[in-house]
Amino acid sequence: MKATIFSGEIRNGQGKGVHFTQLDWVRHQCQEKLGIEPYPGTFNLILKNSEEIIRWKKLRKKTGISITPPDSQHCAAHSYPVRINSFLPGAIIYPNVSDYPEDKLEIISSIHLRQTFSLTDGDIVQIEINHPLEIQAVVFDIDGTLIDTLEAYRICTEKAFAPLKIPITTNIIRHYFATHQPFWESLLPTDTSNHILAAADLETKALQYFPDALRKYGQIIPSLSQTIAKLCSKGLKLGIFTGSTSEVLEPLKKQNLLSYFHAITTAEDINHHKPHPEGLQHCLRQLKVEPTEAVYVGDTTMDIQACRAAGTKSIAVLSGAGDCSKLAAEGPDRIIHSHRNIPAIVSRKYEK
């Protein structure tokens, strides 16, 4: 599908966008529907090309995701997911008011756009309307994407560290998944003797506790079977690539969902961890799909980096360890609240 692109000149706003984007109902709907936790305020662009103004007017009549107020005291709006300067996820917010300027675009994002792109009034910014990603396959991460495993990992880690009386919080586990920085070594006191061996021993113990913790606390993110059914109905191939061991697949086995996936790659199949592209490449070879015809869905910046290294499209999902602003700053092709949003933003690419 041909890209729909607008170019606008930055203009300073009146400050009303700050109040609007911080309303609870606006923030909630932006997160659920757009995958955006809005940075306070809006980014104002003025269209200079008359043809673009006409195209924008036509687009408003055809499409848009509603931002609906809880009562008549507030203004409703329509939104249009975009990529800003071919990189950053965002959305146009169009208030449903009669006197709104025809040439004005108000943009929201999860990060400060002027600082990110070093922009000032008068600079030109390009906005591309998001159309469905044309692909042949969807490959999924597991942890935080299909299964909520944070509590399971916290419990098994807490048990391993219990003799040392070191508290393990969910935020600690979330930070590890989001960064993949050295974990076991960093939690040990710096004066621990045989530091590396002690860390390895703790990891071994935690892995022994993991299967039981996963059975008790690992939860499939709701509506997964419906998402799978919708993607299969589009004729898309489905795959899994997880940096975890194959034990993490157990909740999917229990729900008889693994049979829908045409290829599965786990930590046992590869030598290099994300963001190295090996795992994605391994899975795509099994699927017999070219990287440009696939999208990888994951919840961390390393997942997006792995996509870039492998040459696939990327969808960042907010259901796991990743922070919205950090995920957006990594430049995914799309950002969504949950796997439930995927069927609406992908379509099958047919061979010519």
Structure confidence by residue, pLDDT tens digits, 13-57 = 766 778 889 999 999 999 999 999 999 989 999 999 999 999 999
Mean pLDDT of the region 205-230: 94
- Identify the pLDDT of residue 73: 84
| Interval 118-131: pLDDT, tens | 999 999 999 999 99
User: Which of the listed residues 217, 236, 256 is the one where a domain comes to its end?
Assistant: 217
Here the CATH number for the domain that contains residue 314 is 3.40.50.1000
Same domain, 255 and 204: no
Predicted local confidence at residue 15, as pLDDT: 67
Summarised one tens digit per residue, pLDDT across range 234-268 is: 999 999 999 999 999 999 999 999 999 999 999 99
pLDDT tens digit sequence for 134-168: 999 999 999 999 999 999 999 999 999 888 888 89
Q: For 270-279, what is the mean pLDDT? A: 94
Domain co-membership, 181 together with 270: no
**What's the CA gap between 109 and 104, in Å, rounded?**
17
Residues 96 and 188 in one domain: no
The upper half-sphere exposure of residue 7, i.e. CA atoms within 13 Å in the direction of its Cβ, equals: 7
Q: Is the pLDDT of residue 352 over 70?
A: no
- Boundary of a domain, candidates 189, 217, 245: 217
Q: Which candidate, 257, 25, 235, 70, places its Cα nearest to that of 146?
A: 257
pLDDT score of 233 more than 70: yes
Look at residue 110 in the predicted model and tell me its pLDDT: 95
Residues 171 and 193 in one domain: yes
Question: What whole-number percentage of the chain has pLDDT above 70?
Answer: 98
pLDDT above 90: residue 178: no
168 plus 115 within the same structural domain: no
Mean per-residue pLDDT for 297-319?
97
SS (H, E, C) 244-305: CCHHHHHHHHHCCCHHHCCEEECHHHCCCCCCCCHHHHHHHHHHCCCHHHEEEEECCHHHHH
Q: What's the structural domain count of the chain? A: 3
Q: Residue 57: which domain range?
A: 4-131
pLDDT value of residue 182:
75
Q: What angle do CA 240, 245, 248 make, to 5 degrees?
A: 70
